[in-house]
Amino acid sequence: NATLYDLYLGSSNPPPVYAQNLSGISYVVSTALNAGTPYYWNVVAKNSTGSAPASSTWSFTTAVAVPGQVTLTSPSSGATNQSTTPTLNWSASSNATSYDLYLGTSNPPAVYAQNLSGISYVVSTALNAGTPYYWNVVAKNSTGSAPASSTWSFTTAVAAPGQVTLTSPSSGAANQSRTP
């Protein structure tokens, strides 16, 4: 016997009135609710005689917002003569719970380490010396992933030469030419 409905919706319980005199049995919230927030809601049916008791109050929690895009901080893009075990650093992303690091010799780089909790990563397995590398970072949470950061590059330092071994004349050799 209902002809209209009042929707109560809010982050407190009991919820405040949100929309009144609705003619349908569903309602699309057009103004975005706050991310990661619990909400309470119920409905009161009405007609010309009066209002029914409110329905039971239900709750739901909105999804956490997708994280913001990461900004790389060091080594700077185009850096040269970098360690073969560099520390890669980036800015924290709002709403991120973990980060995926992409690193490699091709652009775009392949995934290198996943679900990192911090905003830096020490490459523990030595990279190739004298080689350009590309890297970027993706912030993630339970809602999804941010767009990848800009892709930066750096070049590792050329390896130091190995120690020379003397071959001739042998140590302590006697009677050697004056132009050996």
Contact in structure between 41 and 15 (CB atoms under 8 Å): yes
The chain-wide mean pLDDT, for the chain, equals 96
103-131 residue pLDDT tens: 999 999 999 999 999 999 999 999 999 99
Residue 53, φ and ψ in degrees, nearest 5: -60, 150
Please determine, for residue 99, whether its predicted confidence score (pLDDT) is greater than 90.
Answer: yes
- Could you tell me the pLDDT band of residue 178, with boundaries at 50, 70 and 90? confident
**C-alpha of 107 from chain center:** 19
- The closest alpha carbon to 73, from 91, 85, 86, 87, belongs to 91
78-89 residue pLDDT tens: 999 999 999 999
